[in-house]
Structure 1
Amino acid sequence: MELKQGDLRLLETDLARRLLGSTELARVAYVAKDGTPRVFPVMFHWTGDELVFGTFAGSAKIAALRTRPAVALTIDTAGPPPEVLLLRGQATVTDVDGILPEYAAAHHHYYGPEQGARNIADVAQSGRKMVRVGLVPDWVGTLDFVSRFPAALS
């Protein structure tokens, strides 16, 4: 039985697992304070239930996410054929003392243990305050032209 777009069980597909474990950037869409749409790329950490990224306190996107927490997110490859994971839900925004563990995990995953440790040390030394943004998806979609839509390649 083919899963319909929106079904949370799509997180269990090979495509979703591969993209959630990849070093592709996530692109997060949200509505800014002035009501206009915005998108920003971000490294992320997947906990198995929640997509988490860290950012620094005081950024405009944090105020916007606190006011309007609805977000859409994509993790994708350029292809051909492209592979796309789409997530939607309500972002949770939490102030953090010190380095956000998921931020450190993302840096180690994307840059490797040595460079990741240097990156985290630089942030820790700066004394900047961090903010944790989490997304537990309430809608999941995939665009997989190999297994779900192979006719599109013909």
Structure 2
Amino acid sequence: MSLPQGDVKLLDTPLARRLLAASLVARLAYTSRDGTPRLIPVNFLWTGEELVVGAFAGTYKIRDLSARPDVAVCVDTADGLPEVLMLRGKVTLAEVEGVLPEYATIQRAGMGDEVGNAYLEAIDQPGLRMVRIGLRPTWVGVVDFQERFPARTPEPVRAALTGGQ
């Protein structure tokens, strides 16, 4: 039986595991102080239980998330048939002194060790404060038009996206 959208057990599907392990940029949606929506790209690390984003303390994003911790996150692919992982829940915020360890891991993964280490050394100055943004999803959605929802994709679209295969 197929899991319904919203079921957190969807995190254990091959598609979700693959997207969470990939070096993709996620989109973080939240509500700003003035009540309008915000959508920003973020690098992330999946710990197996939590999606972690690092941010610098004192930014508008941290101010807004402190006031309204409800968020939505989308991790997806852009080539071929779309594969999409959607997460919702409330974030927790924890301020730390210096470079957030997860942020360092994210930067090294994206930039490579040499460039990542140079970047981290450059920002790790006295007084640096970072914030760990953690999301333990309470709602999970998976959109995969090849296995999960193939009937919802019109055949001409499927043929065009797969090169007629």
Same fold (TM over 0.5): yes
1:99 partnered with 2:88 = no
Aligned to 2:163: none
**2:120 and 2:6 mapped to 1: Cα distance?**
36
The answer on whether the counterparts of 2:65 and 2:91 sit within 8 Å (CA) in structure 1 is yes
The answer on whether the counterparts of 2:97 and 2:128 sit within 8 Å (CA) in structure 1 is no
TM-superposed CA distance for 1:112, in Å, is 1.7
Provide the identity percentage. 53
Query: In the superposition, relative to structure 1, how do residues 150 and 13 fare at CA in structure 2: closer, same or farther (>3 Å)?
Result: same
Aligned to 1:61: 61
Aligned to 2:140: 140
Q: Which runs of 4+ in 1 moved over 6 A?
A: none
**2:111 and 2:126 mapped to 1: Cα distance?**
20
Larger radius of gyration: 2
Query: In the superposition, relative to structure 1, how do residues 126 and 82 fare at CA in structure 2: closer, same or farther (>3 Å)?
Result: farther
The answer on whether the counterparts of 2:53 and 2:103 sit within 8 Å (CA) in structure 1 is yes
The answer on whether the counterparts of 2:44 and 2:106 sit within 8 Å (CA) in structure 1 is yes
TM-superposed CA distance for 1:29, in Å, is 0.3
Aligned to 1:31: 31
**1:97 and 1:62 mapped to 2: Cα distance?**
15
**Deviation sequence 1:7-47 (CA, Å, 0-9, x none):** 11110111111110111101000000000000111111110
Q: Which runs of 5+ in 1 are unaligned?
A: none
Is the partner of 1:131 in helix, strand or coil? strand
**2:154 and 2:12 mapped to 1: Cα distance?**
24
Output the aligned Cα RMSD: 1.2
TM-superposed CA distance for 1:128, in Å, is 2.6
Aligned to 1:50: 50
Aligned to 1:7: 7
Is the partner of 1:55 in helix, strand or coil? strand
**1:119 and 1:125 mapped to 2: Cα distance?**
11
**Deviation sequence 1:58-112 (CA, Å, 0-9, x none):** 1111111011100000001112201110000001011111111110111111122
The answer on whether the counterparts of 1:145 and 1:153 sit within 8 Å (CA) in structure 2 is no
The normalised TM-score by structure 2 is 0.89
**1:153 and 1:103 mapped to 2: Cα distance?**
41
TM-superposed CA distance for 1:125, in Å, is 3.2
Is the partner of 2:90 in helix, strand or coil? strand
Aligned to 2:110: 110
The normalised TM-score by structure 1 is 0.95
**1:121 and 1:76 mapped to 2: Cα distance?**
31
